[in-house]
Chains A and B, each alone.
Chain A
Amino acid sequence: MRQNLFLFELKIFFRNTSSITAIVILLLAGFVGLYFGKTFIERQENVVQKAINLQKENTGNNYEHFGEDTGLFFYHNKFSVANTATKWAAFSNGQRDINPYLISVTMLGLEGQIYDTDIANPSSLLMGNIDLGFVFIFLFPLVIIALSYNILSSQQENGVWILLRSQTSKPHLIIWNKLLVRVLVIFATAFVLMTAALFYLNLELDLIFFSIFGLILLYLTFWFAAVFFVISFGKTSNFNASSLIGLWVGLAIVVPASLNLYLSAKYPVPEALKNVMEQRQGYHEKWDLPKNVTMEPFYKHYPQLKQYPFDEQKTFSWFWYYGMQQMGDDQALESRKAMEHKLENRQQFASVVALFFPTIQTQLSVNSLAGSDLKSHLDFQNFVRDYHEKVRLHFYPVIFQEQKVSLAEVEKFGLKHYKNPVSPLKLESVISLVLLSLILLIVGNLNFRRLFK
């Protein structure tokens, strides 16, 4: 009996052209999302590929022009580091359009270079990208709402419900079956799109795949639970549609937007501007001060460099110059740390509020698993810092002893790829989604019992 009912509902569902249209729209949007997401990342990868050769070329040119003067050569020569996109970044582009994925720095002060952004059209950044993640997070809930908001109310409105109730002792089974059909159809659509992503983006069937797929299914379940909850009041179709759209607008637009406003007011980042000022002043003022003002803290920072001869009488020397550059970084250290602290506060805040809002939760978790969130950018920045330090320490002795550097030695430091280690899905994200869905389902079920008494 139960199985028959289910098949019957399935038949009814597919007899309705608008349901089929909705599924087709989702599939199409999903493919479009896959295409845009992939081309976005591919373009970045092409740039990185080009940059490998460009760095080689530039190094050659610089060497030809300035090779005789090692200090001057390193004044000009840039070392690039690329934040290699994970394959999942094409699934969810995240912050990869806002934060630079390729940072090129000389051996001079790092603080003045590391925050340089890539070229970007602010209008495009404002509108945001289309990727499969967007389709899952924004559009799927809307289709879920469209398919299910009237599964009870339309029966009530056209008078069928009274007939049904008189013929069956378990009227809620009908609603359950209708909902189950929709859950299965939506999950199947998600499955098709995830399979398409698997092949189109060359993903692997690994833990990340199952984490993201699982997360998305949980997210979609949450929306079904929300629909179930709303229709359980037994109100009219128009009421259901309005409240569900209202809920969607709240969760997908108003709440995150209000939280953003609050976030930027609560944690402003004036430290960024302070950092620029201090970095610049810390370096430039040293030109007009006695040399030991630079050299003493510099030796303190790098005791191992004290062994190289330093001629204080010389008006200018690269030793002193690179020391002054270091002073810019050292002077900006405090504001840099303060800025990092602020960003941590912001992330902390976001991850706490995300526990209560599945839209934010899913978006942030998917970005994190795809390695396209702020944290992966900050990790990338730290990697650039370490690499920069390594390059510095490698070449400082050559510069300070005024020796000539060999081109081959510099070319050893070609474009460096950074691969973000992916952190696994956080348990609290799963728990929050499961709990929120459960609450809605339980309350909805209680409502239904009351309704069918």
Chain B
Amino acid sequence: MSNNIFIIARQSFRMAYSNKATFAFAVLLSFSLVLATFVGWKNYKVQNEQRLQYKKEVRKQWLANPDKHPHRMAHYGYLAFREKHELSFFDFGIESFAGVSIFLEAHKQNSVNFSEASFSNGMLRFGELSVAMVLQILFPLLIIFVGYNCISAERESGTLKILLCQNTTWKDLLWGKTFGLLALSLSIFIPFIILTIILWGILSEWQLSGDSVVRLLLLIGGYIIYFFVISVITALVSALSSGSRPALTTLLASWIFFIVIMPRVTQSVGNQIYPSPSKIPFLANIAEDVSKEGDSHNPDDPHYAKIKDSLLKKYNVDDVKKLPFNYGGFIMAEGEKITSNIYSRHQKNLNKTFENQNSITKLASFLNPYLALKEVSMILTASDYSTYTDFQNQAEQYRYGLAQKMNQLQIEHISNEKPAEHEKPHIISQNNWASQQDFEYHFTKISEAVSKNSTAFSALFFWLVVSIFAIQFSVKRIKTI
């Protein structure tokens, strides 16, 4: 960095803080950051602890079930609660709009219920105060308010000509002003991040996982790129505008357009182009496919009749009751396999539709740095859409495993003779229940999360490159007077 750039950067940084309004705004932002961290962390703690407490209770109740028929256990099922990632205190992402609890039982895929949004009467629609929100939405405003006249004011007061005569090039000036603005955001951001890391360390008793540390480092890098991009845009608009007032108007209008209006529009357009089905027709389509494949409830169904015949032939018996294993369990295992395959196929298509809906917004992040960073931030704090579908997938896998395990127990341990109307039902020992492991949600590894969502990361990188190029090559178009 040439000496000139450094001098200009230092000068404009000092100037900014000498302004009382800037100082007040900076203090206000720091205060909101600390508040957001504190309350965000507390919310994370409280909600996660609740979920973990109920998770423990679910396990305890599962194991405490007395001897019974395994199929009863399959219907007793399991409750899974979506855990929050420890970094989700930083960025709430879709957390509040995604459900928390899901009931996992045989034959049936239930919805994830009880999102925070379902408890809200609409105020949530204005947003939630989080660290990410302050950094993404309010920091650009600070940069704009401080930087809109960083060059136009020099031009208006006539100092610009003097500066450019004194061995300072336009490039130096632009870089210097950009770094000055960047330094302003970092002067709040860096102490805050250090504070956050210390707080995080203390609260988790320095049990930081390597994965989370990498996530946080990338997050810091991402936000610095974002502040840099906004600083470049601000400096350039100030240089290119005819005066301070049009510069401010342009910057504020862009802020409103890119941060308030565009995200809603792109998402609405996505929903419009790729409409997603509603639950009732969605389930009806699945039911239709299931009945095409074979209906285990229907004794005359050809698919199951074929299985029955081949089994009778293989074991050389004339009645399913004489088979050496539980026939009912075998048929249910087959049914579970078919239905969950069909369900997964439909769910996959549905997820594809949702991804298509989101793709418009993702593409728009090449036009809008805010959208690029927003997505990156959600991915890194595991509060994004793909983490949510990952939870759904893991829960469904667990559900399938549980149902099949119970079917297997039935096949192996339950007699083929149905008890008469007044006889005791067949049961197996409760010792079997422990063999079904507890549901543990595993967050995606950061390397995988990055490669799965490469578009978002490339969009942010794109903005970094574009900003650098913009300063290097805009010089020709800027007028000094």
Residues on A lying within 8 angstroms of B by beta carbon are 29, 32, 36, 39, 43-44, 47, 50-51, 54, 58, 65-66, 80, 94-95, 98-100, 102, 104, 112, 115-130, 134, 138-139, 142, 146, 150, 237-238, 241-242, 245-246, 249, 252-254, 256-265, 268-270, 272-274, 276-277, 280-281, 284, 287-288, 313-316, 342-343, 346-347, 350, 359-360, 363-364, 367, 373-375
Q: Are A94 and B245 also in contact (CB < 8 A) when A260-B129, A315-B421 are?
A: no
Q: Are B79 and A123 in contact (CB under 8 A)?
A: no
A143 CA to B277 CA in the complex, in Å?
A: 37
A122–B81 alpha-carbon span in the complex (Å): 17
Contact of B361 with A261 in the complex, beta carbons under 8 Å: no
Which chain B residue lies CB-closest to A378?
B121
A119 and B279 contact, CB distance less than 8 A: yes
Residues A268 and B50 in contact in the complex (CB < 8 Å), given A54-B281, A249-B138, A273-B100: yes
**CB-CB < 8 A to A242: which residues of B?**
21, 145, 248
A115-B113, A117-B113 given as contacts; is B125 within 8 A of A363 (CB)? yes
Q: How far is the CB of B285 from chain A (nearest CB, A)?
A: 10
| Cβ B126 vs Cβ A253 within 8 A | yes
Q: Is the CB of B272 within 8 A of A257?
A: no
- 0/1 per residue, B95-136, Cβ < 8 Å to A? 011111101000000111111111111111111111001000
Distance of A215 from chain B, by nearest CB (Å): 15
Q: Give the distance to chain A from B82, nearest Cβ to Cβ, in Å.
A: 11
Q: Is B276 an interface residue (CB 8 A)?
A: yes
**Interface membership of B252, Cβ < 8 A:** yes
Quick check: is B449 within 8 A (CB to CB) of the other chain?
Answer: no
B212 CB–A CB distance under 8 Å: no
**Closest Cβ of chain A: how far from B281's Cβ, in Å?**
6
CB distance from A175 to the nearest CB of B (A): 19
Shortest Cβ distance from B252 into A: residue = A245
Partner of B51, one of A130, A257, A273: A273
- Using A265-B43, A360-B126 as known contacts, say yes or no to A95 and B275 having CB atoms under 8 A apart: no
Q: How far, in angstroms, from A191 to B300 measured CA to CA in the complex?
A: 66
Q: Give bound CA distance, A253 to B112, whole Å.
A: 28
Q: How far is the CA of A32 from the CA of B266 in the complex (A)?
A: 13
16 more contacts with CB within 8 A, not counting A367-B121, A375-B121, are: A54-B281, A95-B121, A118-B279, A121-B357, A122-B388, A242-B145, A257-B129, A260-B120, A260-B127, A263-B123, A264-B43, A270-B54, A315-B423, A347-B121, A360-B126, A367-B122
Are A117 and B268 in touch, CB under 8 angstroms? no
Q: Is the CB of B123 within 8 A of A124?
A: no
A257 touches B280 (CB 8 A): no
Judge whether B137 is part of the interface by a CB distance below 8 angstroms: yes
Cα–Cα, bound, A32→B261 (Å): 12
Task: Tell me whether A119 and B277 are in contact (CB under 8 A).
Answer: yes
Contacting pair B81 A65 (CB below 8 A): no
**Beta-carbon contact of B116 and A264 below 8 Å:** yes
Neighbouring A residues of B137 by C-beta, 8 Å: 249, 253
How far does the Cβ of B83 sit from chain A's closest Cβ, in whole Å?
A: 13
Which residue of B35, B261, B280 is within 8 Å of A80 (Cβ)? Answer: B280
Q: Is B39 an interface residue (CB 8 A)?
A: yes
B424 interface residue (CB < 8 Å to A): yes
Is B121 touching A122 in the complex (CB atoms < 8 A)? no
User: For the complex, what is the distance from the CA of A45 to the CA of B127, rounded to whole Å?
Assistant: 28
Question: How many angstroms between the C-alpha atoms of A104 and B284 in the bound complex?
Answer: 12
Q: Does B157 interact with chain A (Cβ within 8 Å)? A: no
B282 interfacial by beta-carbon distance below 8 Å: yes
B76 at the binding interface (Cβ < 8 Å): yes
Main secondary structure on A side of the interface with B: helix
Rounded to whole angstroms, the CA-CA distance of A66 and B298 in the bound complex is 10
| Cβ contact within 8 Å between B120 and A346 | yes
- CB closest chain-B residue, reference A44: B278
The contact sample of 28 A-B pairs, CB cut-off 8 A, is A32-B265, A39-B272, A50-B280, A95-B117, A98-B97, A98-B115, A102-B279, A102-B280, A116-B111, A119-B282, A122-B385, A126-B94, A130-B268, A142-B256, A260-B124, A262-B39, A263-B120, A264-B128, A265-B39, A273-B100, A274-B54, A280-B77, A288-B65, A315-B421, A315-B425, A343-B119, A347-B121, A360-B123
Q: Which residue of A lies closest to B389 (CB)?
A: A122
| CA–CA, A171 and B272, complex, Å | 52
Give A82's nearest chain B residue, CB to CB: B280
B121: A residues at CB distance < 8 A: 95, 346-347, 350, 364, 367, 373-375
Q: Which listed residue (B65, B120, B264, B271) contacts A121, Cβ 8 A?
A: B271
- Interchain CB contact (< 8 A) of B385 among A50, A123, A347: A123
On chain B, the residues within 8 Å of A316 by CB distance are 425
- Distance of A146 Cα from B255 Cα, bound (Å): 13
Interface contact B424-A119, CB-CB below 8 Å: no
- B61 at the A/B interface (Cβ < 8 Å)? yes
Is B263 part of the contact surface with A, judged by Cβ < 8 Å? yes
Whether B350 is near chain A, meaning CB under 8 Å from some CB there, is yes
Q: Which of B332-373 contact A (CB under 8 A)?
A: 350, 354, 357-358, 361
Residues of B within 8 A of A373 (CB): 121-122
B345 to chain A, nearest CB (A): 15
* Partner of B94 from A32, A54, A125, A360 at Cβ < 8 Å: A125
Checking A119, A138, A350 against B278 with a beta-carbon cut-off of 8 angstroms, the contacting residue is A119
Q: What are the 3 tightest A-B residue pairs by CB atom distance, in nearest-first order?
A: A256-B126, A374-B121, A127-B267
Closest A residue to B270 using CB positions? A124
B50 adjacent to A126 (CB under 8 Å): no
Within the assembled complex, what's the spacing in Å between the Cα atoms of A134 and B46? 33
**B141 CB-CB contact with A under 8 Å:** yes
- Chain A residues with CB under 8 Å of B130's CB are 261
- Across the interface, A249 reaches (CB within 8 A) one of B124, B141, B249, B253, namely B141
Cβ B46 vs Cβ A268 within 8 A: yes
Interface hits, B52-77 → A, CB 8 Å: 54, 57-58, 61, 65-66, 68, 72, 75-77
Residues of B within 8 A of A257 (CB): 126-129, 133
Query: Which single member of A54, A127, A281, A374 contacts B280 (CB below 8 Å)?
Result: A54
Known contacts A124-B271, A257-B126, A265-B43; A273 and B114 CB within 8 A of each other = yes
Beta-carbon contact of B123 and A123 below 8 Å: no
- Chain B residues closer than 8 Å to A262, beta-carbon distance: 39
Residue from B50, B72, B245, B253 in contact with A238 in the complex, judged by beta carbons closer than 8 Å: B245
Tell whether, in the assembled complex, residue A238 and residue B354 are in contact, meaning their CB atoms are under 8 Å apart.
no
Distance in angstroms between the alpha carbons of A257 and B130 in the assembled complex: 8
Chain B neighbourhood of A39, CB < 8 A = 272
Instruction: Please give, as numbers and ranges, the residues of chain A lying within 8 Å of B103 by CB-CB distance.
Output: 112, 276, 280
Whole-angstrom distance from the CB of A135 to the nearest CB of chain B? 10
Q: Please, which residues of chain A bring their CB within 8 A of the CB of B79?
A: 276-277, 280
CB distance from B280 to the nearest CB of A (A): 5
Q: Report the separation of the CA atoms of residues A66 and B423 in the bound assembly, to the nearest whole angstrom.
A: 24
Q: Of B39, B46, B117, which one neighbours A261 at CB under 8 angstroms? A: B39
> Which residues from chain A contact B149 at a C-beta distance below 8 Å?
238
